[in-house]
Each structure stands twice: as structure tokens, then as C-alpha cells.
Structure 1
């Protein structure tokens, strides 16, 4: 085999290269969806439907306006944590023979009756960021209820469903629905955020706990088989990846500066502050991605346990 052929074979075996097909497939699907949506939208009955249901519903009078600073910080931290949760989860799924393992030190403040279990370094990383994500999520739920922001995320009328269909058709035809996320999310955004916050996130936690090596209850295992958790956990990850991809695309396509100011600067403006905060956060995420090499992870993991090959 030639050196170029050897390099191609090595590239083909890379776990990330296996995902390259998604890019051309996504472009083809997007083109088909846009053409179909524009054709459907030109029909008279559909135009009447869009007029009756413009894509937004009315919030309760008690719903707050705007995005507070704590929510902007929560959003940034959540993006950082979920990036490494997905990365480590994919590594766990695609690594056939782990080369490094971690075992908790059963000393100090953390002591249990059961002996520590040896797990792969990828699983250690996954559990570490899962823990940070859960802590951040619990704080998010508390603040969501305390500040009334939950009213912006939970559907409160049945009209949200035809309005969500209307907003989806408008997005798909590349003729964006009129929206102002600072005041009120459109119906499709509300349903999407509700599914992420109140359905997908709890499902990810519930199935992740069942798959955790710390799960030892035999009685509960019969009621909640691990096969069920595995069958749900991976599709939930796919849902998160799909949501993030669409979310990022629409953030930049529907008014990048305004949207980034909402999400990162907690202000309703068209300036550049949100963009520069986002750029800094993105640079940090990229640096952390490339810094997360085995020798770095081994040094960090060694602070809380024993790392072996």
C-alpha cells in the first residue's frame, strides 16, 4: 500500500471522519426542503393559514420581558459543557479498546462501602462534564422558576401548535417569521426550547444515571433495564446535536448581532458586544477541545483518582 493510500485508510478509520457524510447529505436535504416549502407556501389555502396563524402566541401578562444576565451566563456554560459531553459520549461509543483507565481514590471526603470501579478515561471525562452540566441545570431550573422565565418556555395555549407549523413553514421557505426573542419567542422556538429543557435534558440524566457504573440496585435494575436506557440515551444525544446545529444556523441567519446580544450580552441592541463575548467563548471552547489530549486529561484525572494503562 502506498503512503497516500495508508493515510486515506487511517483517515477513514478516524471516529470523526465517519461523520463527514452528514455535510453533503444535509445540504441535499436542505435544498429539497426549501424547494418543497416554497411550493407549498404559494398555495392559496396555505397563504390563508399563514395569515390566520402568523407563528407567535400571546404570553401571560405576568411573563417577564428580556433575557437576564444569569440566563446569558447559564447559556454560555451550558454550551461549553454540552460540547464535551457530546464529544466524550461519541468517543465512548466509537472506541473499541480504551487505553487509559481511571479509578477513584476511596479516601478523604469521598468514601463508599463499595470498592471503586475502574472506568475508561473517556467515561471519566463524560461523567465529569455530566456532573457540571447537572449542577448548572439545577441552578437554571431554580432561577427559571424564581424569576418567572419559565412562562416564556412552556406552551400555555393550544394555538401554539398551528403557529409552530406556520413558523416552521416560514423557516423552511427561507422567508423568516417576524419575531422578537427579547419580548417573546415564536411558537416553534417555544416548543423546541420546552423539549430541550423539560424533556430531553431530564431524559439524558435519567438514562445516563441508569448506565452509570455507580448504579448497583438489582431491584431497580429489573424495573428499569439498562437496555431501555441505552435505547433512549443515544437518540437523545442525536436530538441535542440536531437542535444545536439548527439553533446555531438560525442564530446567524436571522440577525446575528441582535441574537448574540440577546444570548451573550443580555441586552436588546444591534452592537458588537454580544459578538465579541461569543467570539471569546468560542475561542475558549476550541482551545479546550484541542487541549483535551490524553496526557492533559490524565494529569487532571490523577487529582481525584488513579490513572492506569
Structure 2
């Protein structure tokens, strides 16, 4: 990135910001899509050639893509897990949206400050992002507590080193488009397990810690903490964690629909191991709720809510084109 494109960096004389026209963006998008399709085709062709080899076939026979769960592992997906899945989806979507708005916003519409501490202030967008974070963390704590209370943790926490060769085997099956036939109602395949574990116990804590470091509530005088987690490093990790969540969500949704949508949606939303339209109907309803929340997340709605927890100062919109 050129100096002229970095915020806060003064451009040298003669430097100018490079801007693409809509036609250029469209062309770049088409080229990018074609490149991704070509790369995906090469991966599939290479994976199919690989699994045709005798040693690889033997490997897949020894490692089918999953390993047995510990004795006493629960079967099925309880209703509370489906509700947790919906709340997490709702919150993480708005968190990613508000986080992107924080990075892109140049002129805040309003500022929020704790009551009696007007010198400590943040934009309304940052306040909304942090408020969503608090709800997301509370939901996550409840989720983890229920995981360990009900034994569901055994489905997403690796309990054997066999998880790694089986994850490789599952990855080969995905790459050949010969989808794994494992039943998620009973046991996730090992690649799923590793990604779910990483998401819950690595990516989520990383997002929480780095988000706290970037917030106004982080103790600025804690020199040792600040040396352990510098501000710039926390910001980079926070952005890359957001990218991880975006990629995870995209892949997760794509595979849900590609590997038996009705049954998978029944697992996730209706707590049923059946093939019916019940889970799909609940899924559509959840999208309607998410869309309503997305539309409602605007200053006219957020300002009154923010005032319940502190002071809000709305920034007057400058009048343009006024003449005396």
C-alpha cells in the first residue's frame, strides 16, 4: 500500500490515491472469480489423482475421516445448542458489520460517554460494537458452560491424536468433491472438529482479548500488559480474526447446503435427525430476524438505547451550500 493510501500518513508531493472505476472493479471481480474457479478445478483434479494412488487409498481405508468418541458421549444436538447457534449467528453478523463500519467511518454521527465522564468518549458505532461484544461474550460463556455440563464438548474438543490423520482424510474427501458421509448428529468428522475447536477456543478468545485491548476500557497505565500486547499488534490480530470468521462462515454455510441441506438444517435449528422442511423454515425465520436487526441498527434506534447506559451527544450535520 502506498503512503498516500494509508490513513494518517501524509502523501509526498505529487502522490495521488489510486481509485478504480466501477468498470475496473467489475473487471477485477470477474478476473478474480475466474481465477478462483480455475484454482478450485485444479485442486479437485489434483485431489482425485492423488486418491487414485494405492498408498493414499490405504491411508483413507485406515483413516475414514473420523475416530470414535469417548464412552458416554451424547448423541444428538439439543435444542439449547440450536438456540445458541442462532444467537451467535445474529450477534457475530452485527459485530462484523459494526466492526467494518468502525474502520470505515470518518465522521461519527454521535458520541457516547459514561455518565459523569464526558471526557472519555467513543463514537456511537464503537459503542454499538462493544455492546454487541458484551452480549456475544455472555452468550459464549453460557455456551461453553453448557458444553461441559452436558458432555457436548466431546464432539468439538479433540480427544485423540487420531484427529490429525482423520482430518487430512476428510480434507481429501472434500477436495475430491466426494463429500464425507459422516452423520453430524452422532459425530463430526475430524476436520470439522478441528475447525469448531479453533473457532470456539482460539479465534473467539483472540477476538475478545484484542478487542478489549483496542477499547477505551483497557488500562493505559498497565505497562507490562501493554508491552505483552502492543496496540498495533492487537489491531492486526483483531482484523485477521474477523477475516477468519468471515471465511469460516462462508465455508460453513456452503458445506451445510452442499452436503444435505434439509438434514443439516434440521440438526442445527430443529434438533431433529430427519429430512424435512422444519429446520429450513426455522432457518428462513432466523434470516428474517437477522435482516430486521440489520435494518434496525441505525442511529435513530441506537441513540435512545445508548442513552440508557450513558450520555450521548449527537453531532450536528454540517449544512452545505448555505449562502448569506
State the 1:171 CA deviation.
0.7
SS at 1:103 equivalent: strand
Extract unaligned runs of 5+ from structure 2.
1-18, 316-324
Displacement of 1:116 after TM fit? 5.4
Which residue number corresponds to residue 176 of structure 1?
Answer: 179
Distance 1:264 1:22, change over 3 A: farther
How far did residue 66 of structure 1 move?
Answer: 0.7
> Per the alignment, do residues 33 and 153 of structure 1 end up closer, same or farther by CA in structure 2, a change over 3 Å counting?
same
Deviations along 1:168-198, one digit per CA (max 9) or x if unpaired, are 1101111011200010011101111000011
Residue 104 of structure 2 corresponds to which residue in structure 1?
94
Name which of 280, 284, 290 aligns with 1:285. 290
CA distance in 2, matches of 1:134, 1:269: 32
Worse-superposed segment, 209-218 or 290-299: 290-299
Query: Is the Cα–Cα contact under 8 Å of residues 114 and 121 in structure 2 kept in the other structure?
Result: no
Structure 1-normalised TM-score? Answer: 0.87
Contact 2:256 2:264 survives alignment (8 Å): yes
Q: TM-score, normalised by structure 2?
A: 0.83
Shift of 1:237: 0.9
Aligned CA RMSD, in angstroms, stands at 2.5
Aligned length: 292
Q: Which residue in the other structure is 2:128 paired with?
A: 125
Shift of residue 118, structure 1, vs aligned partner: 1.9
| Cα distance in 1 between the residues matched to 2:35 and 2:142 | 38
Query: How many Å apart are 1:128 and its aligned residue?
Result: 1.4
Deviates more, 1:256-265 or 1:27-36: 27-36
Change (3 A) 1:228 1:78: same
- Stretch moving more, 43-52 or 201-210: 43-52
Match of 2:189 among 161, 186, 191: 186
Give structure 1 stretches of 5+ with no counterpart.
Answer: 1-7, 108-113
Q: Which has the larger radius of gyration?
A: 2
What is aligned with 1:301?
Answer: 306
| Structure 1 SS opposite 2:249 | helix
Give the superposition deviation at 1:52: 1.3
Pick from 75, 80, 95: which aligns with 1:85?
95
